[in-house]
A and B are shown apart, each in its own frame.
Chain A
């Protein structure tokens, strides 16, 4: 049961918008460190906290109101130059911002936030020059209501400026002594009695009788403040123009369908003159066009600017750099690039990891940079852009770069590869070793990047999105990670291969090239069939064998495939071309090795193969696995 029964919609809206707002505040705080007297920035940040406070009031999130209120007051003083921004004050502000974000986390779990950490509240009070109130929890929620309550009260005595107060009373139609409506107006603390006339409003934004706190939950301690598991967002914001386009297209498809229905009647009635057939041809072509337009439009409703993801990172980079005593600026580019919504969510963790990695391992501490003749401030660039039907993400640093030799040595030392294997690896292959599970370039795992998530997880996550990741590095100049992703997950470009007469679909993202298999070129290595392609020894695995079909003939063609773990040649009989498959998942009875199905233009149903699963079944045979080990990193 949530604390927000009946107001989930409001809560969702609030969280989405307030999260964006807070990320914006975070970025402005990073800017503020450089320009501490910028009034525009101070104003914007003030307004951010103020707006969050206003929204939080409607959710009865008293603790959030309190924290925002104090922070807002601090910024009010700063923008009026009554206070000056010191590094200590900045730390207080950062802690408060973090507190607000944690409260959002609690709200997203459907529980009222607990009070902010006492030290943070105390520091805010001290900064505001108000002695910290008694740490009794009741004192904090009272804070915002106190000034609120005094306003109408002040109207009654009307001591100082009788004119204005009278005018105000007249203007608002408020009789001077109005404690009752005032109480109804301000119900910030959950403790406040619900205002009269509330039942009518109960479903949206009213202070109904909740106010249960997360601490009240059974097993509340476990739920606690640090609930990391973030509920996945199930809602999406779509530009109305895009929705209108979808509506418009579905309308036109309806019209074309009517045209076809009438043509069908004509044709069934035996009418087959050239005019009717021409009309049929036209209607079908038009439908074709409309449907593909509709598909594109629907796809576009899922597209979100990646900036929504990027905006969280400058703050993360800044905090980390400070912690490590480095001076790092994260430069963003291409924030407007649009990416499928699900993909944005799944990219969050890999990108954080790569950024942390760049700040932690990539760039050098200022003294080292100075002696290398580089500017003390290091730059990490996070860039997104669309290239054809791909999205490319780039994380680049201007640090010390990676040494292929050191990486090879480390991999050997960790027992991930043998000395002989190491000697055969070229530069690119060596860099790719960092994607192996259990690899970490720093001898001592720092508490920063080494959080149990390695580069192997980054690579796996990217590959789950049908994407690929590539490293380029120049010693002394820096490293670049290049992630390439398909535009969308809903449509999968596939290669159709044939086994006998039966077509199968393979994800095109895994296919490197297609080659004829000349049987006299196949060599047996360790009891396994292999083929040498431009100096690279690749195992040949027949698709028939993977599927458990009888091996009654030799495959004619090979598909050079590259998955997360290995490169190999898949033996097939023939090809039927490439297609853009709309994946239908087989939710209830998903056979192993089948990612889903799709329908071909002739109505035939084709299985889309999950190569990773098929290969992992094969991997259980030690002989096969052994043979492929050496080739894993190519």
Chain B
């Protein structure tokens, strides 16, 4: 599956500056169809309403954190196919493993550049194309 510029992203982070950074980076990569959510719980509501094709989520958030969001997505039949890219300031091994275990499609450590983001996204798109 090639990267469709109209692909609808959901960026989940409790820090609006961070949402803006991610949104801008996505824009630079040509993805302009981006919605935002402040935490996992709000994200889940938006996802359940449908229409999203990609989730980029922070890990540490109030109400529902990124890992729980990921686990919930993977256990919800209508959502489990969604690619989920985890963003966090942690690069600890146990965190990466926990994310992988929960079924993250990718893992990216702050701070990062559009180049890094593009690379991670492309890897995920490739995999989705194969699958």
Contact = CB atoms under 8 A, between A and B. Distances in A.
Interface of A: 10, 13-14, 17-18, 21, 44, 46-47, 50-51, 53-55, 57-58, 60, 147-151, 154-155, 161, 164-165, 167-168, 171-174, 181, 184-188, 195-198, 200-201, 204-207
Contacts of B103: 171
A173 B91 contact: no
A21 B17 CA distance: 12
A201 B25 contact: yes
Contacts of B123: 172-174
A185 B108 contact: yes
B109 A196 contact: no
B15 A172 contact: no
A161 B98 CA distance: 12
Given A150-B93, A173-B126, A207-B111, A17 B106 contact: no
Interface of B: 14-18, 20-21, 24-25, 28, 58, 60-62, 88-89, 91-93, 96-97, 99-101, 103-116, 118-120, 123-124, 126-127
A559 B26 CA distance: 64
A18 B92 CA distance: 24
B60 A50 contact: yes
Contact of B113 (A53, A155, A201): A201
Contacts of B112: 184-186
Nearest to A56: B111
Given A148-B109, A171-B100, A205 B91 contact: no
A206 B112 CA distance: 8
A17 B20 CA distance: 12
Given A164-B101, A198-B115, 20 more contacts: A14-B17, A50-B60, A51-B15, A54-B58, A55-B15, A57-B110, A147-B91, A150-B91, A151-B96, A151-B109, A168-B96, A171-B105, A184-B113, A185-B108, A185-B116, A188-B111, A195-B113, A196-B115, A197-B115, A200-B28
B91 A186 contact: yes
Contact of B97 (A168, A181, A185): A168
Contacts of A155: 93, 96
Given A200-B28, A204-B24, A17 B16 contact: yes
Contacts of A206: 113-114
11 contacts: A44-B62, A54-B15, A148-B109, A151-B91, A151-B93, A161-B97, A168-B99, A171-B106, A172-B104, A186-B91, A198-B113
A164 B97 contact: yes
Contacts of A181: 116, 119
A17 B19 CA distance: 12
Q: Chain A interface secondary structure, helix, strand, loop or mixed?
A: helix
Contact of B115 (A54, A150, A184): A184
A196 B107 CA distance: 19
A47 B60 contact: yes
Nearest to B86: A172
A172 B89 contact: no
Nearest to B106: A172
Contacts of A154: 93
A172 B91 CA distance: 14
B17 A13 contact: yes
B32 to A, nearest CB: 15
A255 to B, nearest CB: 32
Contacts of A55: 15, 17-18, 21
B123 to A, nearest CB: 3
A147 B62 CA distance: 24
A149 B93 CA distance: 10
Contacts of B101: 164, 167
B111 A197 contact: no
Contacts of B105: 171-172
A204 B112 CA distance: 11
B110 A172 contact: no
A58 B120 CA distance: 18
Contacts of A151: 91-93, 96, 109
Contacts of A14: 17
B25 A165 contact: no
Nearest to B117: A201
B106 A205 contact: no
A412 to B, nearest CB: 56
A173 B106 contact: yes
A161 B112 CA distance: 27
A205 B21 contact: yes
A595 B111 CA distance: 50
Contacts of B126: 173
Contacts of A196: 115
B114 A10 contact: no
Contacts of A205: 21, 24-25, 111, 113
A184 B20 CA distance: 20
A226 B75 CA distance: 52
B92 A147 contact: yes
